[in-house]
Structure 1
Amino acid sequence: MITSTVDELGVAEVVMDNPPVNALPVAGWFRLASALGELGADPAVRVVVLRAEGRGFNAGVDIKELQAATDFSALIGVNRGCAAAFAAVYECPVPVIAAVQGFCLGGGIGLVGNADIIVASDDATFGLPEVDRGALGAATHLSRLVPQHRMRAMMYTSATATAAELHAYGSVLRVVPRAELRDAAFAVAGEIAAKDPTVIRAAKESLNGIDPWDVRRSYRFEQGFTFELNLSGVADKVREEFGK
């Protein structure tokens, strides 16, 4: 589901592969967080490329796992798992490059919004369909990808944005054909890996230190409303209506 390797240049590659749509279960989010933490702690690692196999980058949480739960344990688990994975991307001591193809939805936005650099295929789309699932969250991260009013419109309508649109905003560095995505991400990674690793790690820490966003606190605030919607029964009602 989550695999990681490191090449001779110090470029680490973390790959999500959970068919059919790379929606991760609770264990998957925690495994992703763990993999990123282990790589960041390895002094041989200079940069991380986060990518996925399959039709899309990430479709968020495994809704079926939530629906199969008889209590709120899965909801608590997945919310903690997502928070851990998003934080692991942001707090990784080295730069994280997200290579995005196809759909990037829900939790995928949390990963990409916290990445340092984004490279996308020309078929990539980004969105938060949370309101259609009776949930909220990751607006914190979408706000790092698109302007404020575009983010609000996307949240309220569940609309998606294209890689070309995000490139125009400056949040996506490069847009390439899907067949060239991995090579494009590794080309950027190679440039970073060629720099002094101590300086790059210091740069990552310094940039996080001057970031106006407290992404942990902001996302945790959003999660509180998801809990409210589930406790009140509204979330179940919305998901049932959406599934008809």
Structure 2
Amino acid sequence: MGVSTSAPEEGVAVVTMDFPPVNALPVRGWYDLAAALRAAGADPGVRCVVLTAAGRGFNAGVDIKELQRSADHAALIGANRGCYETFAAVYDCEVPVVAAVHGYCVGGGIGLVGNADAIVASEDACFGLPELDRGALGAATHLARLVPQHLMRTLYYTSRTVTAHELHRHGSVWRVVPREQLQDAALRLAREIAAKDGSLIRLAKAAINGIDPVDVRRSYRFEQGFTFEANLSGVADRVRDTFGTAGKEPS
């Protein structure tokens, strides 16, 4: 349970999330994931990182129950900062990051894959931002890297999800494979990337980040300000309590 790193083959590091039952990460988990990603990217022997997850789905975002247990805003601030650090760790990783997604990828999961360099998904994968149903805002920055602008807005306002096949048609998912083939498919892509010269692949990552039209750190931080405003006004608690009573979980 937690975050682990393995090296299944030369040049490739696999960072795995394992937070039962639904991979909704607590504050500490976000920071641990950020640290693992940064460490993997800084390893001179690593030329590609695969980000994956154990269990029912890839990532269900923030642990809402932890927020509800907090008597003040400490957990909210921690989650905001933890998500910011982790999404930035994916983006700033010194080598390309391949996200291997199965099941649900919602909320904070979109922040992870939106900042990844490539996405391989299983046929059962679905992607979305149910933030408005959970008393939160944010990660539209990252959803906009996966789908066109108007579709992003529609998905954001409705909390609907899209399938891996739909994202493949938009070009943001590289391959869609049966679930039992996901790890092999992700490793195959990582192996192809890792075959490049290590110094050159790092220069390539820095160069591509440097020409991005949107500063993902600044735009996401801007969004987070509205999340905090929603919490201060009491709107977020009201919506979150409704979500918790309904007992919704990613399926």
Task: State the Cα RMSD in Å.
Answer: 0.8
User: Once the two structures are superposed, what CA deviation does each residue of 1:59-105 show, in whole Å capped at 9, x if it has no partner?
Assistant: 00000100000000000001000000000000000000000000000
Separation of aligned partners in 2, 1:219 and 1:209: 17
Secondary structure of 2:78's aligned partner: helix
Q: Give the AA of the match of 2:217.
A: R
Correspondence for 2:227 = 226
Correspondence for 2:249 = none
Q: CA deviation at 1:7?
A: 3.7
Separation of aligned partners in 2, 1:47 and 1:95: 5
1:93 correspondence with 2:94 = yes
Q: CA deviation at 1:40?
A: 1.1
Correspondence for 2:218 = 217
Separation of aligned partners in 2, 1:8 and 1:85: 24
Separation of aligned partners in 2, 1:8 and 1:129: 36
**Equivalences for 1:110-129 in 2 at 5 Å?**
110-129=111-130
**Equivalences for 1:14-53 in 2 at 5 Å?**
14-53=15-54
Separation of aligned partners in 2, 1:180 and 1:241: 38
Q: Give the AA of the match of 2:122.
A: S
Count of residues paired in the alignment: 244
Q: CA deviation at 1:241?
A: 2.8
Secondary structure of 1:51's aligned partner: strand
Q: Give the AA of the match of 1:127.
A: G
Separation of aligned partners in 1, 2:225 and 2:10: 42
Q: CA deviation at 1:8?
A: 4.1
Which stretches in structure 1 are left out of the alignment for 5+ residues?
A: none
Q: Give the AA of the match of 1:125.
A: C
Correspondence for 2:207 = 206
Q: Give the AA of the match of 1:238.
A: V
Separation of aligned partners in 1, 2:145 and 2:234: 31
User: Once the two structures are superposed, what CA deviation does each residue of 1:36-73 show, in whole Å capped at 9, x if it has no partner?
Assistant: 11111110011000000111000000001000000000
User: Once the two structures are superposed, what CA deviation does each residue of 1:98-155 show, in whole Å capped at 9, x if it has no partner?
Assistant: 0000000000000000000000000000000000111100000000001111111111
Q: Give the AA of the match of 1:93.
A: E
Correspondence for 1:149 = 150
User: Once the two structures are superposed, what CA deviation does each residue of 1:155-202 show, in whole Å capped at 9, x if it has no partner?
Assistant: 111000000000000000000000000000000001011111111111
Correspondence for 1:72 = 73
TM-score, normalized by length of structure 2?
0.96
Q: CA deviation at 1:240?
A: 2.2
TM-score, normalized by length of structure 1?
0.99
Amino-acid identity (%): 70
Correspondence for 2:105 = 104
Secondary structure of 1:34's aligned partner: helix
